[in-house]
Homo-oligomer: A and B are copies of this chain.
Amino acid sequence: MSISSFHPPQRTLMGPGPSDVNPRILEAMSRPTIGHLDPQFVQMMDEMKELLQYAFQTKNRMTMPVSAPGSAGMECCFVNLVEPGDKVVVCQNGVFGGRMKENVTRSGGIVIAVDDEWGQAVDPDKLEEALKSNPDTKIVAFVHAETSTGALSDAKKLAEIAHRYNCLTIVDTVTSLGGLPVLVDEWDIDAIYSGSQKCLSCTPGLSPVSFNAAAVEKISSRKTPVQSWFLDLNLVMGYWGEGTKRAYHHTAPINALYALHEALVILQEEGLQAAWDRHWKNHLALRAGIEAMGLKFIAKEGERLPQLNTVTIPDGIDDAVVRSKLLQDYNLEIGAGLGALAGKAWRIGLMGHASNKTNVLLCLGALDAILTELGANITGGVAVKAANAVYA
């Protein structure tokens, strides 16, 4: 055996995440490792909490990154908040609502399913009906921005309904945070999780979370221990808590946290509103090109995520062939359809650093050329021009 160093190619990442990482973040990640209890590291942790409070628009004190990817952030919310026997309404309109259901049952909870078509937003009326029929429900969980379909749900309205029925809310904002408004305090969301590798444009591996006072109260008054030692917030907060004294719980992923810190500094420099505006502008340009070609979006207008554009694959065109050509000929990654949309749709991400004019034009130009070459039934040669008109 003799294996040598790995040198990855330089790709343009326009899938569902990871997205293009700002070189500043990669540079920050390679700074010298220090100890997880070093006083300077503890200061960095305090800044991190403040930066995340800004990103989530919250004053929640229990705001920090889970030391693992978004799926672990999801699990962190469920294992801490769901107690055995708790009824949990899960609204599903894509892959990630299904994963939430798995988390509820594995935490000993009982799922009340509110299902919507994949590609549609969660229907608030269906949620309200489910809560009327199940007045002993403890928690309502839903995905704000469904990464599998590109559909945006009305988190504010869903949270408002949940609270009217005395439920806590768990909200997935893995794909939304940094790309469109996520207003934790204004919307009164109780528990929320996200991912580092989407609109924050950081490397994958961390999951920002935030819990309000009601969620903390439920966690600290549990009758049964949290089933996960690693994700038990009662323990994690001994490390991520307040003051200069931090108790060892697990060894934090030091350099990954440098990267997230830098990603959040960049977000703070740009400003949330400017970041949201940028995501929207580039979406409009991509959309103009996509529609000029004659391709269609899965999600309805008004329910579309600007940062994740789920687009139908033309008849007779092989999904994998196109993605493979994009990767080989253009070093461009777009995402495959997931679950019910596998083989039927592409997911074109315009997330964080990747949401820019160059990427929009590259993607449209490359798709146009490949689909034309493959004889797809599209209007060729007009996509880039249509997008440019939006920027003009």
Contacts and interface: CB of A to CB of B under 8 A. Distances in A.
A376 B204 CA distance: 48
A8 B29 contact: no
A72 B268 contact: no
A195 B230 CA distance: 14
Contact of A13 (B33, B253, B261): B33
Given A50-B3, A250-B70, A9 B40 contact: yes
B47 A34 contact: no
A136 interface: no
Number of copies of this protein chain within its complex: 2
B254 A18 contact: yes
A262 B68 contact: no
A38 B252 CA distance: 27
B106 A34 contact: no
Interface of A: 1-11, 13, 15, 17-18, 20-21, 24, 26-36, 38-41, 44, 47, 50-51, 54, 67-72, 74-75, 79, 99, 102-103, 105-107, 195, 197, 203-205, 225-230, 248-256, 258-259, 261-262, 264-265, 268, 327, 333, 338
20 contacts: A2-B268, A6-B28, A6-B258, A7-B31, A11-B32, A11-B34, A18-B35, A30-B30, A68-B69, A69-B230, A69-B251, A71-B249, A106-B225, A106-B229, A205-B205, A205-B251, A205-B252, A205-B255, A227-B227, A248-B338
Given A69-B253, A79-B228, A205-B255, 11 more contacts: A4-B265, A6-B258, A6-B262, A8-B34, A9-B40, A29-B30, A38-B333, A69-B230, A70-B251, A71-B230, A205-B253
